[in-house]
Amino acid sequence: MKKLFCIACCSLFLLGGCGKASYFQSTELVEKTEDTNATEQVVDELLPTTIYVQVAGAVKSPDVYELPEGSRVYAAIEAAGGLIESADDSDINQAALLEDGQKLYVYTVEETKALEAKQAAVEADDGLININTATLLELRSLPGIGESKANQIIAYREANGNFSSIEDIKKVSGIGDGIFNQINSLIKI
């Protein structure tokens, strides 16, 4: 029985010692992990994060570029090799901040002109008659405006310059509130 008691005590002593060693190893591991996490956090804060920006159009090397967070448009253009000769940078704010995932497209001068012409065509095709540029035939298509009043509108326009508002058409002799109320939703300047 004494032998059994000694074996039991030795076992408890060994298990207790291992437990103690295991406890100290666990504590050291937790401390090392916390130190590592703190170090990684400091490193992450010191290193700039990056963003990805697609640069396309009138640049020398269109592609997706990795740039430091907080970069400006000019940096993306420089990363793409700069502008080509036919680039139109008149409408690009090169000081603007870039965002991750942004696409920056640089138009050529020809593309800009085509877009402006298309926009002008859309604006012109709104069904309204521009009293500053309308022909005699276009003016005659308005209710209450015959050939005589259409000629007066053109003569007034030639003598005084363009109308500055649609209400100015009432300055033409013979066009009062009655006719204006009939045409005000059909005309523009």
| Of the options 3.40.50.970, 3.10.20.600, 3.40.50.410, 3.30.2420.10, the CATH number for the domain spanning 50-109 | 3.10.20.600
Q: Going by CATH, does the domain composed of 129-188 fall within 3.40.50.2020?
A: no
- What is the pLDDT at residue 29? 53
Neighbouring C-beta atoms of residue 187, cutoff 10 Å: 20
Nearest-CA neighbor of 84 among 55, 44, 64?
Answer: 55
Domain boundaries, the chain: 50-109, 129-188
- What is the pLDDT at residue 118? 84
H or E stretch including 152?
helix 147-160
- What is the pLDDT at residue 4? 47
pLDDT tens digits in sequence order for the chain, 189 residues long: 455 444 545 454 444 554 545 554 555 555 655 666 666 666 556 666 999 999 999 999 999 999 999 999 999 999 999 999 999 999 899 999 999 999 999 999 999 999 888 887 776 667 899 999 999 999 999 999 999 999 999 999 999 999 999 999 999 998 999 999 999 999 999
Q: Is the pTM of this model over 0.85?
A: no
Q: What is the secondary structure of 22-54 as a DSSP string?
A: HHHHHHHHHHHHHHHHHHHHHHHHHSPPEEEEE
- Cross-strand partners of 63: 55
171: CB partners within 8 A, 6+ apart: 156, 160
